[in-house]
Structure 1
Amino acid sequence: MIGSRRIWTAVLPAAVIIALAVAGPVFAPHAVDHGIGISFQRPEGNAWLGGDRLGRDVWSQLLRGGWGLLLLAATIAVLVTGLAAVLGSVAALRPRAGGWIERAADLFMLLPPVLAILLFMLSWPESGSTGLVAVAVIAGTPYSARVFAAAATGVARSGFIEAAQARGERLSYLVFRELLPNLRETLLTQLGLRFVEAMYLVSTAAFLRLPATLGDANWAVMVRENASGILLNPAAVLAPALAIGLLAVSVNSAVVAFGRGRRSA
């Protein structure tokens, strides 16, 4: 009972912020380009968070600006975690293939993900969000694969894995039916950490206006455009910045808490 209460305590903040990002556009009182007054108008009346640099409602933009960031970050986190889990498991089960996987991981780890995104997106800006996801997955998978390989090595030497190998089971069976179910906590922990990293990468790219398909109303662009008026209306900058940070941290905490709860159960 206490364990379940702790899990829900950790999950609730993430659920609230995710609901805000997903359902926010439905409840936004104004359109993105709807003006409510002067530039950087102070919070008052129906304008709970005041206005931005163009006099638009910050609250409406906040409700509309999280969905794109959340979707891209979640997609990157799931793809990186899934691919890294498979590669790490193969490396643990097949030492010869594992050597090649580790060398390739070391090579890709030399290029920082932010630099890789900058180089690719500036060279092929028409790739949009698809290009951003592809580069983030390629750049983020190697390190996570090393983590999974280290975690899977001990499990791969267990008796039930050796018994399955003696029965002549295929590699895919060993990975998906025997090994990965015993790496559940590592999977969930890495998923949370990859989501935090993905939010950082996506927010940085959006801040620099690299994936044009994200539009002008996302939280990262709000921070960039309204930074000049932070002393006039701090909410125009602090609200989206706080939303980005809370989303990343709360989702990570919820995933980790859920993984620990499953282990204790």
Structure 2
Amino acid sequence: MTIDAAPPEAAPPPPAIDPAEPSTFRKALRQKRFTVGLGITLLLVAFVIIAPYLSPYGENEVAGPPFSKSVGLLGTDYLGQDVWSRVMHGGQEILLIAVLGTVLGMVLGIAIGVVAAYGGGWWDEVLMRFNDVVLSFPQILLALVVLTAIERPSAWILIVLVGVSHAPRVARLARGVALGIVSRDFVIAAEALGEKRTRVILAEVLPNMNAPLLAEAGLRLTYSIGLVGALGFLGFSTDPGAANWGLMIQENRLGLATQPWAVLAPVLVIAIFAVGTNLMADGIAQVADRGDN
């Protein structure tokens, strides 16, 4: 008489994904730092977009004698132009270059870091050693080396420089996060099912990296604002005659004791912008570190 073997126990079903699980952004909204930073940033973005249409004077219009405190809300600059009107016109270039440069740097850095972690072997060695070479150059020095060879940089050149200067730092973070994900069971299972590597990266690896990458994006945006402002201060702007917060600081620094608002106004706006984006990055970082309950 034969004894039938007991049927094998069915494998336990995979844990169900809770569709009500809040996204990283919704979790970050619970953080006071993030909401305050988001509010500051959105207000400044709205100011940069709308303010040029509401300025009392034109961008290059002379409103009175140079370094006068009695003209307009914040006085005049070294050419007699209204400081408040120049501030209202001067943020578009910084905002555009900082945001697009940050996006470019994040895309390049994530691509390099994830490919290095997922590919392993010589891919990892070649990509990360080249990454280390670029990382050894300070961001501002790397930009100055290129810009000194260009008579008048265009916006896209500044965007590329900002993005390339950020990419190595983003790549190092992305690789470190991806190394903890590529060896997990769900990635191995996707590979066993014959999924293409690009699909595994896009569908399995990247979605599990969003919190630390969003925090890094906020931090990179903060650095981008400072970097673009510093380049403007050094005279590297797309249009030397146009209003630019960084360039305004450089143009009016000699009159700081006479008419301080010509310098302090753009400094304060850049500082508030950087504080807002940094608070956003801190809020997302808290979500990433604690997992937010």
What TM-score, normalized by structure 2, do the two folds share?
0.83
The secondary structure found in structure 2 opposite 1:49 is coil
Q: Which residue of 2 aligns with 1:195?
A: 221
The Cα offsets for residues 29-79 of structure 1, whole Å up to 9 and x where unpaired, read as: 1102222222111156xx111111111111100000001101100001111
Q: Is the 8 Å Cα contact of residues 207 and 220 (structure 1) preserved in structure 2?
A: yes
Q: Is the 8 Å Cα contact of residues 41 and 50 (structure 1) preserved in structure 2?
A: yes
* 1:210-229 aligned within 5 A: 210-213=236-239, 215-229=241-255
Q: Which residue of 1 aligns with 2:66?
A: 39
Distance in structure 1 (CA, Å) of the matches to 2:195 and 2:63: 66
- Residue 109 of structure 2: which of 84, 95, 100 is its match? 84
Distance in structure 2 (CA, Å) of the matches to 1:210 and 1:202: 9
Distance in structure 1 (CA, Å) of the matches to 2:196 and 2:279: 36
- Residue 184 of structure 2: which of 158, 161, 165 is its match? 158
Q: Is the 8 Å Cα contact of residues 74 and 262 (structure 2) preserved in structure 1?
A: yes
Aligned partner of 1:143: which letter? R
Q: Which residue of 2 aligns with 1:241?
A: 267
* 1:63-142 aligned within 5 A: 63-96=88-121, 97-142=123-168
The Cα offsets for residues 102-161 of structure 1, whole Å up to 9 and x where unpaired, read as: 111011112222122111111123442222222222232112101110111111121111
Q: CA deviation at 1:196?
A: 1.6
Q: Which residue of 1 aligns with 2:8?
A: none
The secondary structure found in structure 2 opposite 1:48 is coil
Aligned partner of 1:36: which letter? A
Q: Is the 8 Å Cα contact of residues 28 and 60 (structure 1) preserved in structure 2?
A: yes
From the CA coordinates, give the structure whose radius of gyration is larger: 2
Q: CA deviation at 1:224?
A: 0.6
Structure 2 runs not aligned, ≥5 long: 1-26
Aligned partner of 2:77: which letter? D
Q: Is the 8 Å Cα contact of residues 22 and 67 (structure 1) preserved in structure 2?
A: yes
Aligned partner of 2:79: which letter? L
The secondary structure found in structure 1 opposite 2:228 is helix
Aligned residues: 263
Q: Is the 8 Å Cα contact of residues 216 and 281 (structure 2) preserved in structure 1?
A: no
Aligned partner of 2:180: which letter? G
- Identity score, percent: 29
Give the number of the structure whose residues are more often helix, by fraction.
1
Q: CA deviation at 1:174?
A: 1.6
Q: Is the 8 Å Cα contact of residues 185 and 260 (structure 1) preserved in structure 2?
A: no
Root-mean-square deviation (Å): 2.2
Cα distance change on mapping 1:254 and 1:125 into 2, 3 Å = same
- Tell which deviates more after alignment, 6-15 or 243-252: 6-15
Q: Which residue of 1 aligns with 2:84?
A: 59
Distance in structure 2 (CA, Å) of the matches to 1:179 and 1:234: 51
Distance in structure 1 (CA, Å) of the matches to 2:275 and 2:148: 29
What TM-score, normalized by structure 1, do the two folds share?
0.91
Structure 1 runs not aligned, ≥5 long: none
Aligned partner of 2:204: which letter? E
Cα distance change on mapping 1:147 and 1:76 into 2, 3 Å = same
Q: Which residue of 1 aligns with 2:195?
A: 169
The secondary structure found in structure 1 opposite 2:205 is helix
Distance in structure 2 (CA, Å) of the matches to 1:160 and 1:107: 34
Q: Which residue of 2 aligns with 1:16?
A: 43
Q: Is the 8 Å Cα contact of residues 211 and 287 (structure 2) preserved in structure 1?
A: no
